[in-house]
Amino acid sequence: MAVGNPLNLSQARGITRSRAGIKAYPEDWRVTEDLDRTFADTGEHIYLYIRKRCLSTIPVASRLAKAFDVPAMDVGFAGMKDKHAVTEQWFSVRDPSQDTGFDVSRLNQTEGDQEIEVLHCRRDGKKLRRGEHQANRFSIVLRDVVAEIDQAQLRCRLELGFPNYFGPQRFGRHNLDDALDWLRHRRDQGRYRRLSQRQKGWHLSVLRSWVFNELLAGRVRDETWQICLDGDDVGPSQTGQADIPYGPLWGRGKNTLSGPALKRQEHRMAEVRTPDEEQSLSEVCAGLEYAGVDRGLRPMAVTPQNITIAHDRQEATLSLAFSLPVGAYATVLLGQWFDLQDLSLASAS
C-alpha cells in the first residue's frame, strides 16, 4: 500500500480505476480559497488576495516579506496551495505605517511560468492565521481519460464522500523515513542538535499524518470509516446533518476511545509496522507522546460539495469542480476512483 493513501474505496470494493492524468498544465488545477471574513478596513495588517501560477505558498510569502521589509513571521496565510497550478488565496502582511498610498500593483510579477497578481486589497487589525479559511474550491481537468465515464454513477460515488486521508504530497519521497529516523534518534547526542523548530514540527506533522492514515485505512477495510462505533470519538460532519467518527492526530493526552472502537484501534496499532519493519504503529505513537506534541482529532470522512462534471470524449478530458473543507485533499478524493498520473512530474524531470 502507498504511504500517502493506504487503501482506497476502489480497492476495498473491487472496482477497477480508470487512468487519468492530472496537472498537464497549471490551468488544469485551479484552487480558489474561500475566506468568509468581515474586514475592518483599518488596522496594521494589509490583506492581499493573490492569484499565483507555478508558485507554492511559501515563496510568495517570502516575496511579500521582502517587498514590505518585514520578518517572515509578519506574513500570514490560511493554507498551503499547490505549486503546479493556478491558485487564489489571501495573505496578510503587518504594516504598522498603515500607508494607504502603497501601490499594490508593484507586487505583480511574471517570471517565465511564474506569475503573481494582486486581485484585491483590504485592511484588518489581526494577522491571518493558518486554517482560518472555510473551504477550497477546485476546478480540475483530468486528461487521457479513455475509459467510458458514467457521469451519473461518478456523481453518486463522489456524493457519498471519501476517507479523509492526508494526501501523498504530505509524505513526498523521503519525508516519512526522515521523520522516523528523527523520532528514533532525536535524543542522540549531537545527531539532531541543530535541527530547527520548523523542521521538528514538520517531522511531527508527517508522523501524525501517517498514524492517522493507517488507522483510517483499517476502518476503510472494515467499512466503518463513516459509521460511529460504540466508544468512538464523534463530531459533526461538515454539513452538520449527522455525526461522524473522528480519528486521532496522535500525541500527549488521554485516549478517549473505549469499547469496540478502542479494541479495533489497538488491534490495528499492533498489526501495522513502519515501512522498514523496525517498529509497530503503537511504538511510533509512544514516541510521539514523548516528543511533546498534544493530541488532536480529525474527521474520518469528507463529502465534497457543489459538484459539477463534464466529460469531453473527443478530447478525452473530464472536467470536475467541487468544494472541500479545510484540510481535505483533492488528490485523495480523485484517487479513490481514478488511477492518477501526475503529468507535472514528467515535465519537471
Q: Which pLDDT tens digits describe the chain residue by residue (349 residues)? A: 456 567 899 988 888 899 999 999 999 999 999 999 999 999 999 999 999 999 999 999 999 999 999 999 999 999 999 999 999 999 999 997 777 677 889 999 999 999 999 999 999 999 999 999 999 999 999 999 999 999 999 999 999 999 999 998 888 778 999 999 999 988 887 777 778 888 999 999 999 999 999 999 999 999 999 999 999 999 998 776 789 999 999 999 999 999 999 999 999 999 999 999 999 999 999 999 999 899 999 999 999 999 999 999 999 999 999 999 999 999 999 999 999 999 988 755 5
Q: What is the pLDDT of residue 1?
A: 45
**CA 196 remoteness from chain centre:** 23
Fold entry, domain 163-301:
Pseudouridine synthase (3.30.2340)
Q: Indicate which residues carry an active-site annotation.
A: 82
Q: What is the pLDDT of residue 318?
A: 98
CATH number of the domain located at residue range(s) 37-124 in this protein: 3.30.2350.20
Cβ atoms of residues 343 and 22 within 8 Å? yes
Give pLDDT tens digits for 21-79. 999 999 999 999 999 999 999 999 999 999 999 999 999 999 999 999 999 999 999 99
Q: Give CA–CA dist 285/135, Å, rounded.
A: 30
Per-domain boundaries in the chain: 20-27+138-158+303-348, 37-124, 163-301
Q: Give CA–CA dist 213/209, Å, rounded.
A: 6
Which of 17, 309, 24, 303 has its CA nearest to residue 139? 309
Cβ atoms of residues 195 and 182 within 8 Å? yes
Q: What is the pTM of this model?
A: 0.91
Which of 30, 36, 8, 271 has its CA nearest to residue 164? 8
Long-range CB contacts (within 8 A, 24+) of 99-106? 102/46, 104/48, 106/67
Q: Give CA–CA dist 213/25, Å, rounded.
A: 29
Assigned C-alpha cell, 155: 456523481
Cβ atoms of residues 135 and 289 within 8 Å? no
Computed over every residue of the chain, the mean pLDDT equals 92
